[in-house]
Structure 1
Amino acid sequence: MMITEISAVNFRQNLGEMLNQVQYRHDSIVINKDGKPVAALVDAELFARIRRMQERFDALNNRISEAYAGVPAEEGLAEIDAAVTAVRKQR
């Protein structure tokens, strides 16, 4: 799989070719506007996997938020800092 960067103007001019690249070669296209990435074209299967991953991440994030709902922010941040420090010491 290859990732190609292309300007929005070139993308519009070569849309058919870009769709073929994504559909048949499973490449991804990053579309730049004014030199900055603004969108990406990926095959539908990859997009479906990304959406499933996002849904799982959101569900996990919600569970964590609910678990810490009654914890003051400073206490939660201190716990995170302690966990990061412990992991760094293990390395």
Structure 2
Amino acid sequence: MSSSCSHLLSALKECLLQSDCVLKQGHLPSECLREHTNELPESCKALRQATFECKRGMLDMRKRFRGNNVDLPPPPPKAQEQTAPASA
């Protein structure tokens, strides 16, 4: 898969793993996507739709030269290491 959709796919995986369908009901994430979509939270449904649109955009020949225009949420901030200045 192209790297343009990888951020959405990882966000969808995290959302599924934290949903009640997986945690409380014990279903597999793939089962939740296929059979229990009504039980998923709205954020997972939106990520599922965005992932679908991203994958469809990769096949669109009109976007071949311009690239896949994906509205990605900003990546999570990395932990910044705070270093104390060394005294001379």
Question: With structure 1 as the length reference, what TM-score do the two structures score?
Answer: 0.31
- Considering fraction of residues, name the structure with more helix: 1
Question: With structure 2 as the length reference, what TM-score do the two structures score?
Answer: 0.32
Higher relative contact order structure (alpha carbons within 8 Å, sequence separation ≥ 6): 2
* Structure with the greater alpha carbon radius of gyration: 1
